[in-house]
Chain A
Amino acid sequence: MNATSLAQWQFGITSVYHFFFVPLTLGLSVLVAIMETIYVRTGQDVYKRMAKFWGKLFVINYAMGVVTGIVMEFQFGMNWSNYSRFVGDVFGAPLAIEALLAFFLESTFLGLWIFGWEKLSKPVHALTMWMVAFGANISALWILIANSFMQQPVGYEVVGGRAVMTNFFALLTNPTIRVQFPHTVFSGFVTAAFFVMGISAYHLIRRHEEDLFNRSFRMANIFGAIAIILVIVVGHSQAQHVIRTQPMKMAAAEALWESENPASLSLFTIADEERLQDVFSIRIPRLLSLLAYNRLDGEVKGVRNLQAEYEAKYGPGRYVPSVFVTYWSFRIMVGLGFLMFFISVVFLYRLVRKRPLFQWRYASLFPLVIAFPYISNTTGWLLTEMGRQPWVVFGLMKTADAVSPTVSASMVLTSLIIFSVIYGVLMIADIYLLVKYAKAGPEPSEVLAAHSASEVAYT
C-alpha cells in the first residue's frame, strides 16, 4: 500500500472511532441536563440519581471523545499537509472557532459538573450540564461547517494555487450545513435515546430500580421518537440536496448506471464495479424520481453519464466512488433509521396505553437496540466521505493530491499501527467500564441520603 491509501485508512479508522463517542455526547448531555433540571424544579431525588447515573456513563464516554478528537485536529497537518496548505485558509477557520467557542465551554463546564456537586448551587450545577450540551452541539456545528466545505465548496476563490476565503458568511450559510447539521445532531439525540432505552430495558427486565428506569425509558423514548422523525425528514431533504450537488455520490449509492427519467429505485443490486453494470438487480420503477423530486418523474443522472461528464470537465480519471460501500452503507443507514422509528413508535404507543413493555418472548434481547444508532451513524459517514471520493474537496482537490509529500509510507504505517493498537485497547477498557457501570445501576438512594451533605465517590 502507498502512503496515500495508508493515510486514508488511518483517517478512516481514527475518524470512525472518534465518531463512535461523539453522537452519544451530543444527545446524552441534553438528556442529563433535562433530568437535572427536573430535579432542580421538583426536588425529587430520583431525578438527581438519574442525572448522576447517566452522567457517569456520559463522562466515561466523553473522555474517549475528547482524546480521539485531538488526533483529528492534528492529523490534517500530519498526514494531509497539501490539503492543509490548499484549504487551510477556509477550512482552518471553523476548526479554530470550534476550539474557541465549543471546546473551552465543554471542557470547563464538564469539570465544574463532575467536581461541583457540593460547590455550586443546584440551579447553577444544572446549568453547567446545559453549557456542556450547548458546547457539544455548537462544536458539531463548526466541524460540520468545515466538512460542508468539503462537500460543497462555497465562499472562496482559488488564488495562486490555494483556496482563499472571500466570504465568511457564505461558509456559515452553506446549503449543505443546513441539512447536514440537523441530520447529525438529531442522530446524536437518537443515539443517546437508544442508549438510555437499551440500558433501562436491561434493568426493567430484571425489575431493578423500576421507578428510576421507567422514568429514564419514558424520557428517552419521547426524546428519541421526536429525534428520529426529524432525522428521517431532514435526511430526505439531505439526499435530495446531494442529488443536486454531488450527483455521483447518489448515483453510486443507488447503483444507477445510466441516467433515467423517470428513475427507478434499486431494492437489491449486485454490481459489477469494473464495468459499471448490474450483475443482478431488482428495481421499482419511478420510485427514485419520487424520492429525488417528490414527483413521479424527473431525471436522475447515472454513474456512466456522470463519469463521462466529469472526464470532460476535470480531465481523464475515474470519478466513481466504491459502489459497494456507498450502496450498502446507504441502505443499512436508512434501514436501521426506519427500524428505530418503528421501535420508538411501538414503545411510545405501549407507554401511552400503559401496556407492559417487556413481557414478550425475546424481550431480554431489547438492549441490543443500542447497536442500531452506532451502525447507522457509522454507515452514514462512510456514505458521506467515501461517496465523495476521489475528491477530498468536491470538484476542487483530489484525495491523492492532498497527502503530505514528506511523510513516508513507513511513517504512516507506524502511526496507523500505533493508533489501531491503542484504540483497540482503549475500546476494550471503555466498554468494560460502560458495561460495568451500566449493569451496576444507580447508587442506592440510602447512600445518597446519608451523603447528601457531602459527595458520592465515583468508585
Chain B
Amino acid sequence: MKRVPERAPLLRAEEVVKHFPAGLGASVKAVERVNFEIYPGETVGLVGESGCGKSTLGRLITQLLPVTSGNIFFEGVDLTKLSGEKLRQKRRELQMIFQDPYSSLNPRMTVGDIIAEPLENFGLLRGRAKDKRVQELLRIVGLNPYFNNRYPHEFSGGQRQRIGIARAIALRPKLIVADEPISALDVSIQAQIINLMEDLQKEFQLTYLFIAHDLSVVRHISDRVMVMYLGKIVEVADSAEIYRNPRHPYTKALLSSIPIPDPEIQSKRRIVHLSGEIPSPVNPPSGCRFHPRCPIAQVPTPCADLEPPLEEKARGHRAACHFSEKVPVAV
C-alpha cells in the first residue's frame, strides 16, 4: 500500500462545481460539488460512463477549464485563485495525457519539437542541451532517440501515445492526469503503455489521476478508485476493496457489466440491470441522482427527496447511498 493517510494530500478538491451554459438560462451540471484528495505517489482511478463528468473533472484539475465554484488546492495553493504567470508556473507540475494520440500531436511539428515545446515555454534548456534532453526523453519512453526529426504520422498509435507521455514528463511534473490514455489503442499495445506508465511512476515518483471507462484496467493500475455518476462521485475506495465490496448500487452494476475473459466464469455471472437511460445533466433527478435507475431505491423517501452524502462506510471506503449495506456482494 503506497498511501500514507497522514501525509498531506498533493491535491485536494473542495466542493468543485462546473456548469456549462446550455442556452435559455439552462445549464449542464457536468460536475456538482465534488470533494476528494490525491496523495503523493498514488494512482487514483476515475471511472464512469460517457457524460458522467470524469473528463471535465480532469480538465478542471489541470485548470484547462475554470471551475464554476469550489477550490482546487495543489500543494496547498488554490489553483482556482491563480491566473496569468503564477498559474502558468504551477502548470509545470500538472500535466495531461490525452486519449487520442492522433489529434493531440501537431502534425506539422517534428516529434523533437513537440517534446521540446514545454521546455522552451519555460525557457529551461537551449540548443544542444535541449536536444540531448529530448533524445533522453524519447529513450525513456521506449522510442529510438534518433526519431526526433520525424513527424507524428510516421508513428503508430502506441508510439504516438509514447510521444504524448514524453511531452507530459518533460517538465518533471508531480501530477499527471491521464484521460483514457489507452482506450484508442489495440489490445496488444495497451499493456505496453500501462507498463510504461507504471515504470515511469516508479522512476520519477509520479502521481496519476487515471481517467477511464474500463474498470478492469483501472483496477490493475490504481491504488484507489473513484466512481462518478452524473456529475457526482458516488464511491471511493481502495481498488481491491471496491471490487470485493462495492457499497454503491451503481458501482455494483458497472462491475457486473464488465466482461471477464473466461467463458466458465462469464456464463455464471449475472448482470445488474439498470432501468432506463442516464438522465440529462441539465435537469438531474432530485434526491439521489441514481434513484430512477436504482434496483434498491426506496421512493419517495428517502431516495427521491434526500441527497445521500458521500460518507465513510468502512475505513477508507466512502459511498453516497442511503442503503449501502444492502448492496449485494461482488460478482
- Same complex: no
- Measured CB to CB, the residues of B under 8 A from A are none
